[in-house]
Amino acid sequence: MSERKPVVLVTGASGFVGRHVVPALAREGWSVRRTVRSPEGRNDEAVIESIGPETDWQAALEGVDAVVHLAARVHHKREEHAADLYRNVNITGTLQLARSAAKIGVRQFIFISTVLVHGRSNEGRAPFSEDDALTPRGVYGVSKAEAEAALKDLASETDMKISVIRPPLVYGAGAKGNFALLTRAVNLGLPLPLAAIRNQRAFLAVQNLSSFILYRLAHPDSVSNFEIFLVADREQVSTPEFISRLGKASGTSPRLFTAPPALLSVLLRMIGRQDTYDSLIGSLELDISKAIATGWRPQVSLDEGLRLALSAQEI
């Protein structure tokens, strides 16, 4: 008789990160159960129409050993008018899943949070670390910070091991958002006024995020039921350096030119794009020594991660 494979439930399995994490888990011997909104006719799916405070997780969690919670409300066109949506999905929805998992005897729970619980920039300060006081920005960042707090309380009441991962911008094949926009700008040869920027920013290849999730599942903490980790690539580089590396990976020469950072700051603030200023011009350095101290090591370098991101291969 063959030994039973451990079962992991993955929410958000069809999203960008999920499409990389699911096959990585399968390669490591996990039996993966994916949450889907409507039946797809596959034997590895659990139908969960929506995530919220009333979601019934019992069937989806049956026989599950671990949960990797990737699903979240990330973007909304008018974020300030969607506070209830963010709360229902990211806070009370997460807690409903975690409580249900603990009740049924799930041993491990991995929660993907965000570095935005620290804010958008550490300009003029030391790199962010897990022990810093949180200063979340935006409804999304606030919702993730509150979800973390709720999970910490739950961990003190149960035997389930909860790991919180706070990633910076995650890039890879199929990534959307800022990485997709930047890649398109480089490939189109658009002039980018960022040559004079002298910041330092953390990035995270999706392969490195996947490998940390796998490592954490294989090496749960033997003492604490609740741990938080900042995870990023080893190299933390300036915005123009990242763009140059991106161009090298795509076989193009980015059209970077110099514009005074102070002028860029004024222009972006005038059009209400403080978030763009923070993500392009501000610094966002992370201290990843706690993750490294667990024994985990990033699998790919920045250059290799960018090459994989731009290849035709999705996984």
The half-sphere exposure of 120 on its side-chain side, counting CA atoms within 13 A, is 14
Told to judge if 140 belongs to the known catalytic residues of this protein, a careful annotator would answer yes
CATH fold of the domain at 7-172+202-233+285-299: Rossmann fold (3.40.50)
Q: In what order do the strands lie in the sheet with 7-11?
A: 45-47, 31-36, 7-11, 66-69, 108-112, 161-166, 226-230
As a whole number, the mean pLDDT across the chain is: 91
| Burial (Cβ within 10 Å: 0-12, 13-18, ≥19) of residue 272 | exposed
Q: Partners of 34 in the beta sheet?
A: 10, 45
- Asked if the model's pLDDT at residue 154 lies above 90, the reply is yes
List, for residues 183-198, the tens digit of each pLDDT value: 999 999 999 989 989 9
Which one has a higher pLDDT value, 193 or 8? Answer: 8
Kindly report, residue by residue over 94-146, the tens digit of the pLDDT: 999 999 999 999 999 999 999 999 998 898 899 999 999 999 988 999 999 99
**Per-residue pLDDT tens digits for 241-277:** 999 999 999 999 999 999 887 787 777 776 656 666 6
pLDDT given at position 41: 79
Q: How far is CA 231 from the centre of its chain?
A: 9
Band of pLDDT at residue 42, cut at 50, 70 and 90? confident
Instruction: Give yes or no for a contact between 77 and 112, defined as CB atoms under 8 angstroms apart.
Output: no
Which of 86, 140, 171, 277 is catalytic? The answer is 140
Going from N- to C-terminal start, the domains of the chain cover 7-172+202-233+285-299
